[in-house]
Amino acid sequence: MQATYFTASFIGNEPVSGDGDLFQALAPAQAQVLEDEFTNVSNEQANRAVEKAAAAFSAYSNLHPHRRADFLDAIAVEIDAIGQELIDRAVLESGLPTGRITGERGRTTGQLRMFANLLREGSWVDARINTALPDRTPVPRVDLRRMLVPLGPVVVFGASNFPLAFSVAGGDTASALAAGCPVVVKAHPSHPGTSSLVGQAIVAAAEKTGMPDGVFSLVHADNDVAQALVAHPAVKAVGFTGSRAGGLAIQRVANERPEPIPVYAEMSSVNPVVILPGALAQQAETVAAGLAASVTLGVGQFCTNPGLTFLLDSTEPDEQTGTSAPSRQTEQFLSTVAEKIKASSPATMLNAGIHKAFQKGIQQIRVIPGVHLLAESESEPSDDRTEGRPAVLTTTAQLFLLSPDMSHEVFGPSSLIVVCHTEAELAECLNMLEGQLTATLYASEAELNQSAYNWIELLQRNVGRILFGGFPTGVEVSEAMTHGGPFPATTDGGRSTSVGTGAILRFVRPVTYQSFPNTLLPLALQNENPLAIWRNIDGELTRKSL
């Protein structure tokens, strides 16, 4: 596949040069400005993209679901067809290694095909039918049929840390298109070339499968135009992955509209890891090595990076001084973490802004009284390549409880280990945490059964995914995955997921059809069940027809 319109935005199927400011991409690993020139679209051009999406909505949302499935499959084929050019460009613009980007491409095309399969199976529309009971007394019942229908045009913001899987053809776009919603993607400025290549692939797929013009648009845009996209009255929902400040800014715009709309923003999470003495006694070195590997994976630039670790030490503090010598298992754990972090290497972060924020965040934690640097990489980072230097810090539960700033996310390769001496201290620390994407529990079954605290229940109150052992930096794209959580992990209170088939539910709403002639009903609700899907008919889950 040739990158004919490599630097273009796409307003529907039309490649366009933006009428706004010119900009260039940066290769962070080489600290070089790339020669390709991109232009942001103007407000007028952004409005045209939304208007095309609105015009396409009726035709697209009423397509047979198998045709939408064919479209998603075709996008995956077109992305694969770009070949090495896409891998090389994404590596260049992100500083991420080739293996990581290659895997991310597979994840991107895999989730497109997953949603295609979901559409062909069809039961996700949650069809419910209550047949008429005209002879019921004292009040007859009318015929009622309910299913999920698409919201309308969706604006998606590409993420910086996943230039493919959470970007132009990522999970937000795939799930919105699967739901029947046209999509306008605002490309992330850190990887505009990657975005344009994928945008071209989606447009090619749309043309080859006969999708209505406007089902997809890609725009390079500054912040003012991006906010105007959210404010456009035809837009019905927003998908976003990024910083807390960015997500809240978008939510404010959405809430201030005459018609407020849902914003599904994935934002801040420190993903606490809780380690109880039973697990530490059995596998201190293994857990420590796993923690260090998870903290440094991808230069700590995963939204599931374990940025906070709570370690329940098995020794009681001295009543006079409040301090105590750590147990042998605790010493072994901290020593192994320090050894692994020292041996790790600084690596290029996604862009200069993220690198600067990481350095600032580490410094703000380090200067808090009672916080100590356990270890940092012994290799000096390059001054001109925005390299993040892995670091792990420690403090006590008493000091952690006095300093809420310690619980804030530092996006990058770091973690703060909080040593607790009593279960009460640990429970108090966990109770003060904000909402999280994940929490991880290392414990023996025996100590969980004997504890005065229900640690599983305590953790799950504020997370979307709870792990028993392992580390959270792997997010499986599957039916059972939840990638979301209470605020500030997401803006919707943790009621949805941005990964897995459940992500489609963000872009639909229920509608009930009352007393409709059979031929006027959507296919999913017609008597004959022409889609052959599972439906709830008068309380029975069945695939039979009426």
Q: Is 303 a catalytic residue?
A: yes
Distance of CA 303 to CAs 18, 109, 475, Å? 31, 21, 10
The single residue of 78, 93, 104, 303 carrying the catalytic annotation is 303
The Cα–Cα gap between 475 and 18 comes to 36
DSSP class of residue 382? P
The Cα–Cα gap between 268 and 247 comes to 9
DSSP class of residue 19? S
Residues 56 and 214 sit within 8 Å (Cβ to Cβ): yes
Structure tokens at 489: 């992990």
The residues near 93 (Cβ < 8 Å, ≥ 6 apart) are: 25, 26, 27, 28, 34, 163, 190, 191, 192, 193, 194
Distance of CA 468 to CAs 209, 306, 442, Å? 44, 14, 6
Q: Is 429 a catalytic residue?
A: no
Q: Would you list the DSSP string of 190-250?
A: TSHHHHHHHHHHHHHHHHHTTPPTTSEEEE---HHHHHHHHH-TT--EEEEES-HHHHHHH
3-state secondary structure 29-54: CCCEEEEEEEECCCHHHHHHHHHHHH
The single residue of 266, 387, 409, 425 carrying the catalytic annotation is 266
DSSP class of residue 7? T
Q: Is 126 helix (H, G, I), strand (E, B) or coil?
A: coil
Of 243, 268, 314, 305, which is closest to residue 440 (Cα–Cα)? 305
Looking at the annotation, which residues are catalytic?
Answer: 266, 303
